[in-house]
Amino acid sequence: MNYVIVGNSVAAVGAIRAIRAQDQQGTITVVSRERHTAYGRPLISYLLGGVITEKGMPYLPENFYDQQRVNLLLATEVASVDTVAKRVLFTTGESLPYDKLLLATGGDPFLPPIEGMADRDRVYTFTTWDDAAKLKAVSADIQRAVVIGGGLIGLKAAEGLNLLNKSVTVIELADRVLSSAFDRPAGKIVARKMRANGIDVITEDTVVRIEGEGATITGVTLKSGDFIPCDTVVVAIGVRPAAGFLKGSGVEVNRGIVVDDRMQSSVPDIFAAGDVAEARDFFSDQKNPMPIWPDAYIQGDIAGTAMAGAEKGYEGGLAMNSIEFFKVSTISMGVTNPRDPVEYDILTFLDSDNYQYRKIVLDKAGHLVGAVLVGNVDRAGIFAGLIRNRVEVTPFREQLLTPEFGFIHLPPAIRKERFGQRGYSWPQPCFDGNGGGH
Amino acid sequence: MKRIYAIEEACIGCHLCEVGCITEHSLTKDPVKAFLHEAERPIARCTVEELDGGVLSISTTCRHCDAPDCLQTCISGAIQKQADGRVLIDTAKCVGCWSCVMACPFGAVQRNLKKKKANKCDLCPDRDLPACVSACPNRALVFREGN
Ligand SMILES: Cc1cc2nc3c(=O)[nH]c(=O)nc-3n(C[C@H](O)[C@H](O)[C@H](O)COP(=O)(O)OP(=O)(O)OC[C@H]3O[C@@H](n4cnc5c(N)ncnc54)[C@H](O)[C@@H]3O)c2cc1C
Ligand code: SF4
Ligand code: SF4
Q: Do A435 and B133 touch (CB under 8 A)?
A: yes
| Sign of the Cα pseudo-torsion (B36, B41, B43, B44, in order) | negative
* Segment B25-79, tens digit of pLDDT: 999 999 999 999 998 899 999 999 999 887 899 999 999 999 999 999 999 999 9
Asked if B35 and B48 sit in the same domain, the reply is: yes
3-state secondary structure of A422: coil
- Running DSSP on this structure, what letter comes out for residue A352? G
Q: Cα–Cα distance between A425 and A172 in angstroms, integer?
A: 56
Asked if B8 and B45 sit in the same domain, the reply is: yes
Answer for the pair A317, A281: CB distance below 8 angstroms, yes or no.
yes
Decide whether any atom of ligand 3 lies within 6 Å of the B21 Cβ: no
ipTM > 0.90 for the complex: yes
pTM of the model: 0.96
Q: Which atom from ligand 3 is nearest to the alpha carbon of B73?
A: 5
Kindly indicate the confidence band of residue A325, based on its pLDDT and cuts at 50, 70 and 90. Answer: confident
Phi, psi values for residue B87, rounded to 5°: -105, 115
Instruction: Write the residue in B8, B101, B133 that is nearest to A437 by C-beta.
Output: B133
Asked if B127 and B57 sit in the same domain, the reply is: yes
Decide whether any atom of ligand 2 lies within 6 Å of the B69 Cβ: yes
Instruction: Write the residue in B57, B75, B93 that is nearest to A42 by C-beta.
Output: B75
Residue to mutate among B2, B75, B80, with most A CBs inside 10 A, is: B75
Complete DSSP assignment for A147-163: EE--SHHHHHHHHHHHH
- Running DSSP on this structure, what letter comes out for residue A426? S
The order of strands in the sheet holding A287-288 is A257-258, A277-280, A287-288
- Running DSSP on this structure, what letter comes out for residue B74? -
Listed residue (B1, B13, B23, B3) closest to B142, CA to CA: B3
Asked if B57 and B3 sit in the same domain, the reply is: yes
Q: Cα–Cα distance between A373 and A359 in angstroms, integer?
A: 7
Nearest CA to ligand 1 atom 3: A42
With the most atoms of ligand 2 within 8 angstroms of its CB, the residue from B73, B94, B106 to mutate is: B106
Q: Of how many residues is chain A composed?
A: 438
The total domain count for chain B is 2
Asked if B131 and B115 sit in the same domain, the reply is: no
Q: Do B97 and A380 touch (CB under 8 A)?
A: no
Asked if B97 and B108 sit in the same domain, the reply is: yes
**Domains, chain A, with CATH or none:** 2-108+241-307 (3.50.50.60), 117-237 (3.50.50.60), 327-418 (3.30.390.30)
Q: Cα–Cα distance between B26 and B40 in angstroms, integer?
A: 8
Q: Do B101 and A378 touch (CB under 8 A)?
A: yes
Asked if B33 and B13 sit in the same domain, the reply is: yes
Nearest CA to ligand 3 atom 7: B94
Computed over its alpha carbons, how large is the radius of gyration of chain A? 24
Decide whether any atom of ligand 1 lies within 6 Å of the A241 Cβ: no
pLDDT for A430 beyond 50: no
3-state secondary structure of A414: helix
In this complex, how many residue pairs, one in chain A and one in chain B, have their CB atoms less than 8 Å apart? 170
Asked if B103 and B128 sit in the same domain, the reply is: no
Asked if B78 and B112 sit in the same domain, the reply is: yes
* Segment A296-306, tens digit of pLDDT: 999 999 999 99
Q: Do B136 and A436 touch (CB under 8 A)?
A: yes
Is the peptide bond preceding residue A427 cis, with omega within 30 degrees of 0?
yes
Answer for the pair A343, A311: CB distance below 8 angstroms, yes or no.
no
Q: Which atom from ligand 3 is nearest to the alpha carbon of B89?
A: 3
Q: Regarding beta strands A239-241 and A216-222, do their DSSP bridges make them parallel or antiparallel, or are they unpaired? A: unpaired
pLDDT for A124 beyond 60: yes
Asked if B48 and B31 sit in the same domain, the reply is: yes
Q: Cα–Cα distance between A53 and A44 in angstroms, integer?
A: 10
Strand partners, A222: A207
User: Which residues of chain A lie closer than 8 angstroms to B110, CB-CB?
Assistant: 378
Among the bound ligands, name the one nearest to the CA of residue A160.
1
Nearest CA to ligand 3 atom 6: B97
Q: Cα–Cα distance between A173 and B49 in angstroms, integer?
A: 44
Q: Cα–Cα distance between A54 and A437 in angstroms, integer?
A: 46
Render the burial of A141-159: b for 16+ CB within 10 Å, e for the rest: ebebbbbbbbbbbbbbbbb
Strand partners, A31: A6, A73
Higher pLDDT, B39 or B143: B143
Asked if B52 and B107 sit in the same domain, the reply is: no
One-letter amino acid for residue B61 of the chain? T
Mean pLDDT of chain A: 94
Answer for the pair B81, B71: CB distance below 8 angstroms, yes or no.
yes
Distance to chain B for A170, nearest Cα, Å: 21
Render the burial of A75-95: b for 16+ CB within 10 Å, e for the rest: ebebebbebeebbbbbeeeeb
Domain span holding position B25: 1-61+123-147
Answer for the pair A174, A189: CB distance below 8 angstroms, yes or no.
no
User: Which residues of chain B lie closer than 8 angstroms to A294, CB-CB?
Assistant: 69, 72-73, 99, 103
Instruction: Write the residue in A52, A293, A408 that is nearest to B73 by C-beta.
Output: A293
Q: Cα–Cα distance between A25 and B55 in angstroms, integer?
A: 55
* Segment A88-117, tens digit of pLDDT: 999 999 999 999 999 999 999 999 999 999
What is the rounded average pLDDT of the residues A408-421? 92
Asked if B2 and B57 sit in the same domain, the reply is: yes
- Cα–ligand 2 centroid distance for A393 (angstroms): 22
The CATH number that applies at residue B94 is 3.30.70.20
- Helical H segments across A43-166, by residue range: 44-49, 64-67, 129-138, 152-163
Q: Cα–Cα distance between A246 and A21 in angstroms, integer?
A: 29
Q: Do B8 and A40 touch (CB under 8 A)?
A: no
Answer for the pair B26, B41: CB distance below 8 angstroms, yes or no.
yes
Decide whether any atom of ligand 2 lies within 6 Å of the B120 Cβ: yes
